Chains A and B, each alone.
Chain A
Amino acid sequence: MSGAHVSTTINGDAVQFACPNDESLLDALRNRVGLTGVKEGCGTGDCGACSITLDGRLVCSCLVLGVEADGKEIGTVEGLADGDKLHPLQENFIKHAALQCGICTPGFLVAAKVLLERNPDPTEQEIRYALAGNLCRCTGYDKIVRAVQATAKDLRKKSKKKSR
């Protein structure tokens, strides 16, 4: 299998890697770039553990080829925190015990971030549908939904303060 040289931006940094043409972006991120926060749960786009953003759009990185990332901007769980300051979603996932084993957590955080960027005031049902592509087997989703609700509230308060 021939390969390609890929130039991307990952979590704001310019990153280059080479990968075979048939390699998934998930494998390239994990094995070539070293971003093992992106998890593989199924490899078929059914579990969402490998969720990332590609030019701002939420995708399963197992369904994207590494070579397709050329010239694109990638966002992963590793880019959520601002230095030592956690993203409010990360804070609330810890505060509300919205994780147990944690294998699905990176995917949920990325998916929830995309949701809140598009819809700062989602209903419970909107949260549940937005996160329906991410499987969690530990929590029954209860505390995850509550953590996202709490984050939405925190962020709305913050933006109100800013706009004043």
Chain B
Amino acid sequence: MTDSTSFTNQKFKVIGQRVRRQDGMDKVTGRAKYGADAVAPGQLVGVILRSPHAHAKIKKIDTSRAEKLKGVKAVITSKDLPDYTNGNRDLLSMLENCMARGRALYDGHAVAAIAAVDASTARKALKLIKVDYKILPHVTDVDAAMQEDAPVIHDWVRTIGVEPAPSKASNVSMRSEFGHGDVDAGFAKADVIIEKSYKTEQTHQGYIEPHACLASMSPDGSGELWVTTQGHFAYRNWCAQLLGLDMSKLKVTSSEIGGGFGGKTHIWMEPIALALSRKANRPVKLVMSREEVFRASGPTSSTSIDVKIGATKDGRIVAATSECRYQGGAFPGAWAVIGAMTSFACYDLENVKTVGYEVVCNRPKVAAYRAPSAPMASFATESTVDLVAEALGMDPVDFRILNAAKEGTRASYGPTYGPIGIGPTLEAVKKHPHMRAKLKKNQGRGMACGFWFNFGGQTSCTINVAADGTVNLSVGTIDVGGSRSSLSMICAEELGISYEQVRTHIGDTAALAHNDMTDGSRGTFASGMAAIIAARRTKEVLKLRAATAWEIPVEDVDWQAGYAVALGDKHSNLEPLSLADIAANTENTGGPVAGHNEFVADGAGVSFASHICDVEVDPETGSTRVIRYTVIQDAGKAIHPDYVEGQFQGGAAQGIGWALNEEYIYGEDGRLQNPGFLDYRIPVCSDLPFIDTQILEIPNPNHPYGVRGVGETSIVPPLAAVGNAVSNAVGVRMTHVPMSPPRILAALEAEA
């Protein structure tokens, strides 16, 4: 029982309540400490020199004048970051991305760094570094990079996954394929076949807090790093490997995180801060500017996708294919593979084939962005699904319901589904009053569904009972959306005590065993499951302590609603002992009370959502306003409904921005033209309506409470939901995201 993670269908006291969040007070008073808010005695300011070229050979770097400037304490180039990667190409690419090694691979690629006594000295010194570049041909478009005559960015990249293995280098680092059945036979049976090509532009996660860290290396080879991150253990491991340190000697403490959405799952400049500190023998604070965040940290892929769907007159899809070409930035990634896996995950298909191509370009290295790669694939699929429904004369919701995956469906990416929520979310769409609301002139409605895997991963946590009977839970997953409070609720539920008696903290890398990052919607799922087991183990210790105090066998002790209870008539003289009673007496009963758990949190339940969107398009300007938006998603079980709604709304807003406005714009010269919030416009408050939410709870059978991850799925449907709405409003199929005013006007003109 203690370690079982099966769904129990229990009644809850704390779970499902809307309690007050634990990090709220610090965040509304300005006390919360983020990446840039830490200070160390004698700290220096670090700055980075970045390439202005999309692709260039670095012939020579002369740092001598910068080094001589008064107040400069360290200047580093790739020479100060020797290769400790031992033939591990992925690690070497990570190092090379942090600092160019002989070649600048994108506009914004770091080439040198400085630590100085203050920011103005550091900036002055930056201008004294002389870099001699030889400009090389570049490519920034995904389709162009796949052409035979494209400049090949890495001579070591061979396409993995094709037979025979290519002998020549290219920009295509991998081909992947998924599916089952016979698509040719399926298409032969189809009454209607729709084939369409789509493009989506590169977007940035757009967290408001730039990357920031405070690094302190000691001459004895130990070090500390305070950093804004989604995964301090991963950062610790990577930084230690890249700098040739013992992992245990580098202590990484995660700051409060000012948004990540996947962009803080990767190191960008933390090894540079550590290397600067090592050279200067002083703590170094390194904070990116917003421009640096855009030019040199984690955007998502731009893509080019073909989708073909065939269906019979009775509304059944008989075959479906997709080819997903994903731009991964300057180093090989694994993004198209996820696009190919998720393309048709919502549907029950007999014949399906999806193919992905990973493409290297002269752009910043792509990082995860909330359900990475799924929104683009979903845009292509869900737009085509609408077209097929239209060609068949069917209602698009009914068409989706008829073809939706269900329990027992073999997913297009391989596994067979357990209980899932796609059907119920679609039925909820059909019933929702939003679908019956009247539309006015120039308005259109669209809907779309989306899928995300969710992830479990390596997790550890510790519960400590304090001497007064209050409880600390230490977890190793960063809190990005309120998980500390949700995890305190879980701990309270298990121990039978009140939420207010539990306080959850994020432990540093020395305090806990390894934890995977907060990604894959795993924070509350995985740490929650870990906490349930740790709490059950804590109860075992509590029962033991009570039994010792009572001098009775532990088998005679039960834990009920926060109290140790002596069972049976023979013990009727023994009053129940509270957590506080037991905690106060541990000196005499066997020692302090704690419970641990270290495990792999298997069984993350897949997640589905369906969104409804109304837009109004101004045909004169092409400007689009979202006037109503509804998110319906299966949460498995909502621990704290406010935070679940918050995830639904936040993901939808990001998807709306992606659908309508946000894009990286590169010039002919390969330079990013809009690296700032003025020209890269994320949705502001006046751009959006209230975002309605409906939480469905279809329990995940592999979690004691039925929890599924909820963080990411909400960004998957919006591109297509908005796209279908805009297409319905203007009467022209939109195939290129973002649907910015110029693209809508161009589409209208082409149709006229």
Which residues of A approach B to under 8 Å, CB–CB?
1, 20, 22-23, 27, 30, 35-44, 46-47, 49, 76-78, 80-81, 86, 90, 93-97, 99-106, 109, 124-125, 127-129, 131-146
Task: Assess whether A131 is in contact with B290, with CB atoms less than 8 Å apart.
Answer: no
B482 CB, nearest partner CB in chain A, Å: 7
List A contacts of B676 (CB < 8 A).
42, 44, 46
Residues 464-523 (chain B) with a chain A CB within 8 angstroms: 480-482
Q: Is B210 interfacial (CB 8 A cutoff)? A: yes
Chain B residues closer than 8 Å to A41, beta-carbon distance: 208-210, 258, 290, 677
Binary per-residue interface labels of chain B (676-711) against chain A in the complex, 1 for a CB within 8 Å, 0 otherwise: 111000111111101100000000000000000000
Contact, CB under 8 Å: A40 / B36? yes
Whether, in the assembled complex, B423 has its beta carbon less than 8 Å from a beta carbon of chain A, the answer is no
10 A-B pairs within 8 Å (CB atoms) are namely A40-B36, A90-B28, A97-B21, A101-B256, A103-B34, A105-B28, A137-B682, A140-B691, A142-B645, A142-B690
Q: Decide yes or no whether B60 CB sits under 8 A from chain A.
A: no
Q: Is B189 an interface residue (CB 8 A)?
A: no
Cβ–Cβ contact B649 & A137, under 8 A:
no
Residue in A closest to B640 when the chains form the complex, CB atoms? A97
With the chains together, A97 CA to B642 CA distance in Å?
6
Residues of B within 8 A of A137 (CB): 205-208, 259, 261, 650, 654, 682
Q: Are A44 and B208 in contact (CB under 8 A)?
A: no
A65 CA / B26 CA spacing, docked (Å): 28
Asked if B652 lies at the interface with its beta carbon under 8 angstroms from chain A, I say yes
A93: chain B residues within 8 A (beta carbon): 24, 28
Contact status of A86 and B646, CB under 8 A, knowing A41-B208, A44-B290? no
The reply to whether A132 and B686 contact each other, CB–CB distance below 8 Å, is yes
User: Are B21 and A138 interface neighbours, CB within 8 A?
Assistant: no
User: In B1-46, which residues have CB < 8 Å from any A CB?
Assistant: 18, 20-21, 23-34, 36-37
- Chain A's nearest CB lies how many Å from the CB of B285? 10
Assembled-state Cα–Cα distance A46/B681 (Å):
9
Report how many residues on chain B are interfacial, defined by Cβ distance under 8 Å.
58
Task: Please count the residue pairs between chain A and chain B whose beta carbons lie under 8 angstroms apart in the complex.
Answer: 181
Please determine whether A40 and B210 come into contact, CB atoms closer than 8 angstroms.
yes
- Among A1, A80, A136, the most chain B Cβ lie within 10 Å of the Cβ of A136
Smallest CB gap from A77: residue in B? B30
Nearest-neighbour CB distance to chain B for A67, whole angstroms, equals 14
Does the CB pair B690–A136 fall under 8 Å?
Answer: no
* Chain A residues closer than 8 Å to B481, beta-carbon distance: 100-101, 138
A133 to B684, CA, bound (A): 7
Give B106 Cβ to nearest chain A Cβ, in Å.
21
Q: Contacts A94-B25, A141-B688, A142-B649 known; A101 to B209 CB distance under 8 Å?
A: yes
A32 to B92, CA, bound (A): 39
Contact A47 B25 (CB under 8 A): no
Smallest CB–CB gap between B207 and chain A, Å?
Answer: 6
Instruction: Let me know if B646 and A100 touch, CB within 8 A.
Output: yes
Asked if B685 and A132 make an inter-chain contact with CB atoms under 8 angstroms apart, the answer reads yes
A137 to B646, CA, bound (A): 11
By a CB distance below 8 angstroms, the chain B residues around A143 are 642, 645-646, 649
| In the complex, chain A residues whose CB is within 8 Å of the CB of B18 | 97
B25, B289, B482, B653: the one contacting A141 at CB < 8 Å is B653
Are B120 and A99 interface neighbours, CB within 8 A?
Answer: no
Shortest distance from the beta carbon of A12 to any chain B beta carbon, whole Å: 15
Q: A146: which B residues are within 8 A, CB to CB?
A: 690
- CB-defined contacts of A30 to chain B, threshold 8 Å: 36
- Shortest CB-to-CB span from A65 to chain B, Å, is 13
Contact A35 B30 (CB under 8 A): yes
> Is A97 within 8 A of B482, CB to CB?
yes
- A80, B30: Cα distance in complex, Å: 10
> Knowing that A44-B677, A134-B684, A140-B654 are A-B contacts, what are 12 other residue pairs whose CB atoms are under 8 Å apart, sorted by A's residue number?
A35-B30, A42-B677, A44-B290, A44-B676, A49-B208, A86-B25, A101-B258, A128-B688, A131-B686, A135-B684, A137-B208, A138-B650
Alpha-carbon gap, A81 to B688, bound state (A)? 30
Of the candidates B28, B683, B690, B691, the one having the most CB atoms from chain A within 10 angstroms of its own CB is B28
Q: How far is the CA of A135 from the CA of B678 in the complex (A)?
A: 11
Cβ contact of A37, chosen from B25, B30, B480, B685, cutoff 8 A? B30
A9 CA / B646 CA spacing, docked (Å): 37
Please determine whether B677 and A135 come into contact, CB atoms closer than 8 angstroms: yes
Q: Is B257 an interface residue (CB 8 A)?
A: yes
Q: Is the pair A145, B690 in contact by a Cβ cutoff of 8 Å?
A: yes
B650 in complex: contacting residue of A23, A38, A100, A129, CB < 8 Å:
A100
User: Knowing A102-B32, A103-B34, A138-B646 touch, does A47 contact B686 (C-beta < 8 A)?
Assistant: no
Asked whether any CB of chain A lies closer than 8 Å to the CB of B574, the reply is no
A20 contacts across to B, CB distance below 8 A: 120
Establish whether residues B650 and A139, one from each chain, have CB atoms under 8 Å apart when the complex forms.
Answer: yes
Is there contact, CB below 8 Å, between B653 and A140?
yes
Q: How far is the CB of B709 from chain A (nearest CB, A)?
A: 16
Beta-carbon contact of B258 and A39 below 8 Å: yes
Residues of chain B within 8 A (CB-CB) of A128 are 685-686, 688
In the complex the two chains form, is B259's CB within 8 Å of A81's CB? no
A116 CB, min distance to chain B CBs, angstroms = 15
Closest to A89 in B: B28
The proximity string for B residues 616-651 relative to A, scoring 1 for CB distances below 8 Å and 0 otherwise, is: 000000000000000000000000001101100110
Identify which of A39, A94, A127, A145 contacts B34 (C-beta below 8 A). A39
A99 cross-chain contacts in B, Cβ below 8 A: 24, 27-28
Q: B residues within 8 A CB of A80?
A: 28-29
Q: Kindly state the separation between the CA atoms of A149 and B205 in the bound complex, as whole angstroms.
A: 28
Chain B min CB distance to A150 (Å): 14
- Contact (Cβ within 8 A) B27 A105: yes
B24, B482, B688: most-surrounded residue (chain A CB, <10 A)? B24
Q: Is B119 interfacial (CB 8 A cutoff)?
A: yes
With a cutoff of 8 Å between Cβ atoms, the chain A residues found around residue B24 in the complex are: 93-94, 99
A110 → B minimal CB distance (Å): 10
Distance of A128 Cα from B686 Cα, bound (Å): 5
B482 touches A38 (CB 8 A): no
Task: List, in ascending order, chain B residues with CB within 8 A of A78's CB.
Answer: 29-30
> Does B652 lie within 8 Å of A140, measured CB to CB?
yes
- Which residues of B are found within 8 Å of A140, using beta-carbon distances? 649-650, 652-654, 683, 688, 691
A112 and B628 CA atoms in complex are apart in Å by: 24
Closest to B28 in A: A90
Q: Would A97 and B646 count as touching, CB distance under 8 A?
A: yes
A134 to chain B, nearest CB (A): 7
Q: Which residues of A contact B684 (CB under 8 A)?
A: 131-135
- 1/0 contact trace for B204-245 toward A, CB 8 Å? 011111100000000000000000000000000000000000
Q: Across the A-B interface, give the 5 residue pairs with the lowest CB-CB distance, nearest first.
A: A37-B30, A103-B258, A140-B653, A102-B27, A46-B677
- Residues of chain B within 8 A (CB-CB) of A42 are 290, 676-677
**Are A36 and B33 in contact, CB atoms less than 8 angstroms apart?**
yes
Closest to A37 in B: B30
Q: Is the CB–CB distance between A86 and B678 below 8 Å?
A: no
For A142, what are the chain B residues with a Cβ–Cβ distance below 8 Å?
645, 649, 688, 690-691
CB-defined contacts of B649 to chain A, threshold 8 Å? 139-140, 142-143
- Which B residues from 98 to 150 make CB contacts under 8 A with A? 119-120
| Contact yes or no, B21 A94, CB < 8 A | yes
Distance A123 CA – B347 CA, assembled complex (angstroms): 43
Q: How near does chain A come to B644, taking the closest CB pair, in angstroms?
A: 10
> Given contacts A43-B289, A94-B20, are A104 and B653 in contact (CB under 8 A)?
no
Contacts of B691 in A (CB 8 A): 140, 142
Across the interface, which residues of A come within 8 angstroms of B21, CB to CB? 94, 97
CA–CA, A142 to B31, complex, Å?
A: 24
- Contact yes or no, B259 A37, CB < 8 A: no
- Which residues of A have CB within 8 Å of B653? 139-141
Complex CA–CA separation, A97 to B23 (angstroms): 11
Q: In the complex, which residue of chain B has the Cβ closest to the Cβ of A110?
A: B30
